[in-house]
Every structure is written in structure tokens, then in C-alpha cells.
Amino acid sequence: MEPLNFLAAIAGIDRLYYAKYLFPKIVTHKNIPETVAHLRVTKQSWQEGKMEGEIKAADYEWQFQWHFRRGKLLVKPSLGRALIYEPLGRFLERSDYQLEPGGDYEFLLRAKL
């Protein structure tokens, strides 16, 4: 007996129902949409504890201020901000000490913009 049939029989669940609802389609890396975000650091001040720059992804453009001592991120304009705010915050938290003014960087967004 196949493992799926065996587990379904133990649980008293129809095999199709079990497979469809308890194990939804597994999303592989190939199936996840991606967009490359391009980041440029324009200013950095260790004394003020902040970094400024711009981001471009698909047809969107934003400016950001990262106050790394306070862990505060500001992104303007508001159009499309929800798409970039969390991924940018994670990227900056992970990499801010490696970023330099004038540097160009890229990271992946797990969405198609």
C-alpha cells in the first residue's frame, strides 16, 4: 500500500481529499515569481546613524532612509511601498554594514512587479 493511501486509510480520509487539502501543491523555487530590485546608496553617516538611497524594481522607484541605530526605515513615495518595505528592511538589516555610498546592489523580491 502506498504511504499516502496508508495514511489516508488510518485517518479515514478519502485519498483525493487528503492529497488535495492536507498537502497542497508544493511550490518549488521555479514556481515563485521574482523581481530584481536595484539599490543605490547615495549617503551614509555613521555619526547620524543613517543611510539614504534609491531603489528601482520593474517600473517602480523609491527613495529610502535607513536609521540603522533605531532600526527605522522610511520609504517614499507611498505608491507601491507595501511591495518593497519588508524585503528592503530585511536586506538592510542583513547587509547595511557592507553597503557603501555610491555602491550599486541587487536583491530579489519574491513577487512579480
Is the full-model pTM beyond 0.85?
A: no
List the helix and strand counts (H, then E) for the chain: 3, 5
Cell numbers representing residue 40 in the block: 543605490
Structure confidence by residue, pLDDT tens digits, 63-79: 999 998 998 999 999 99
Four-point Cα dihedral 63, 107, 24, 6, nearest 10:
-150
Q: Which long-range contacts (CB under 8 A, 24 or more apart) does 47-56 make?
A: 51/92, 51/96, 51/99, 55/84, 55/88
Domain coordinates in residue numbering, the chain? 1-32, 33-109
What is the H or E stretch that residue 10 is in?
Answer: helix 3-11
Identify the pLDDT of residue 16: 44
Structure confidence by residue, pLDDT tens digits, 24-83: 455 456 677 888 999 999 999 999 999 999 999 999 999 999 998 998 999 999 998 988
Residue with more model confidence, 105 or 34:
105
